[in-house]
Amino acid sequence: MMIDTDLEILDHESSRLLKLEAAQKTIPFKKVLIANRGEIAVRVIRACHELGIKTVAVHSTADADALHVKLANESVCIGPPSPTESYLNISSIISAAVATGAEAIHPGYGFLSENGSFAEICGQCGITFIGPKARHMRLMGDKAVARKIAIKYEVPVVPGSIAAGVSPEEALVEAEKIGFPVLIKAVAGGGGRGMKIVHSADEFTRLFEQASREVEAAFNDPNLYVEKYIPNARHVEVQIIGDQHHNVVHLGERDCSTQRRYQKIVEESPAPNLSQTTRNAMYESAVRLGKSIGYPTCGTLEYLIDPRDEKFYFIEMNTRLQVEHPVTEFVTSTDIVKEQIWVAAGRELSFKQEDIKFTGHAIEVRINAEDPYTFAPSPGMIEGYHPPGGLGVRVDSAIYDRYKIPPFYDSLIAKIIVKGRDRDEAIKKMRVALSECIIGGVTTNMPLLKKILEYDQFVLGHVSTKLVENLFEEEKRKSAEEFSKQDLANNLTQLPKAA
């Protein structure tokens, strides 16, 4: 009788523990710290709250009144305004996570999101880094190493140097082998920092040394490599997501060709005027590369496409969440941030490749607090704010009326994303959204975005990395013609009248 009773107690306890374990798995983590600011911190906080996860915001003294601080369950000040003393301060961020009992850290994009050392330190402290492993960052974060891996797995790359370095003499030898024009690029970082188009050997050394200084200041890594420059190229990227169970799927492509100074300002999915044959080949190469390195989270493989023959070339991989991820979420009806959190907790992907269905067309514009033509930053107090709305309109932002935009960080203040049944409807919807949007008190790039949405090359889908440059040149030509007409009219009025 005693043995039976003991067995019943053990069975009851075992059942209780199994139920408790199952209940705990209904949320991936109890508490997550978001090691970022601005709209992406708000985006991650919302995803966590929808999953039932408590959140911790970190902030500099300049961001004490920021929206992500107000929305999080807890907040911790991690330093003064300078990013190096706050959002890049690993010890302060880890201390905040330990002090608040955060089980995981989401890095957002930028700052520490692709810092392998940070991911390793998180693991050493028993904190889950919501992103790839340090080895994935080191493999794919170094563009020269990523090129070698791509070549190994037969993913086409732009003709260029295999090795990277700081010697302009050695790089010039490679450039002459490739043939001018060439592109000088940074091994580390992104955002177009240090990128230089070189048309001849005469200017190569000067531009190489200038680029090296720029990237050393930005990324603490002066190494550069050289690749063939493709004029009027399209910039198209493929979104992949994997898990810790060797599953990797793609979520389609995004066209990011519309850029200013190598910074994306308009993104869309699907890419216009691209054959399905090329799309499928890009998808297959992206998934193959992701599987070859056992990639366990969301990432983006970026390609250049030569519009003359639709040949595509892998250029780099971003081992993090992208700014433009919402356009993919719109056309695939997925939540990339939630999926990223779940796979970090060890769960398999909630969908297979055949489950992904593409519908409609989505466009995103980035609203920056900057002069639309000189691109000079425009920090300051927002005096009047009205975001657009309506069916198929989404705004990802961290601003509000009377919010003071600090001068210490990136100028991105909002993203408007729209979805239409097709590209034509999406363009019309974005035009209306931009016309409704009010951001007073600061200068923004909205006038430029409105012109892009009306520009013939964009409307027809003839996009390239030269589109904004072409728009500016066309405006200059029209202004010159108008000036000439006005000057002629003035001269005619000054002619003496006939007697």
The predicted structure's pLDDT at residue 24: 44
**Distance, C-alpha 242 to centroid of its chain:** 18
- The span from the CA of 386 to the CA of 433, in Å, is 11
349, 414: one domain: yes
Q: Are residues 192 and 267 in the same domain?
A: no
Query: Active-site positions?
Result: 320
State the Cα–Cα distance between residues 186 and 164, nearest whole angstrom: 9
- The structure tokens listed for 305 are 């496409």
Closest CA to 444 of 415, 413, 472: 413
- CATH code for the domain of 46: 3.40.50.20
First to last CA, the chain: 133
Q: Are residues 203 and 252 in the same domain?
A: no
Residues 450 and 393 in one domain: yes
Residues 175 and 109 in one domain: no
pLDDT at 23: 41
The CATH number assigned to the domain holding 198 equals: 3.30.1490.20
DSSP β-bridge partners for residue 154: none
Tell me how far apart the alpha carbons of residues 302 and 294 are, in angstroms, rounded to a whole number.
Answer: 18
| Predicted local distance difference test score (pLDDT) of residue 488 | 61
| Residue 484 forms part of a structural domain | no
**pLDDT attached to residue 161:** 72
Exposure of 248 in the CB half-sphere (CA atoms within 13 A): 23
CA distance 339 to 296: 11
Say yes or no: 285 and 362 in one domain.
yes
Given pLDDT bands bounded at 50, 70 and 90, which one contains residue 328? very high
Mean pLDDT value across the chain: 92
Rounded Cα distance between 62 and 373, Å, is 27
Tell me the C-alpha distance between 388 and 37, whole Å. 22
β-bridge mates for residue 306, sequence order: 311
What percent of the chain lies above the pLDDT cut of 90? Answer: 80
Give the residue, 148 or 4, on which the prediction is more confident. 148
In a shared domain, residues 273 and 386: yes
Q: How many domains does the chain have?
A: 3
Burial class (CB in 10 A: 0-12, 13-18, 19+), 480: exposed
pLDDT given at position 58: 98
324 within a domain of the structure (yes/no): yes
- Comparing CA positions, the residue from 82, 125, 132, 83 lying closest to residue 106 is 132
Domain of residue 244 covers 234-474
Q: Do 185 and 315 fall into the same domain? A: no
| Claim to verify: residue 123 and residue 188 sit in the same structural domain | no
User: pLDDT tens for residues 70-83?
Assistant: 999 999 999 999 99
Judge whether 14 lies within some domain.
Answer: no
Q: Does pLDDT of 51 surpass 80?
A: yes
Shared domain check, 282 and 181: no
Asked if 251 and 228 touch (Cβ cutoff 8 Å), the reply is no
Name the token pair of 363: 């466009």
Assess whether 412 and 285 both reside in one domain.
Answer: yes
Q: What is the mean pLDDT of residues 101-126?
A: 97
- DSSP-derived letter for residue 220 is S
- Say yes or no to pLDDT of 13 above 70: no
d(CA 274, CA 266): 17
CATH of the domain at 440: 3.30.470.20
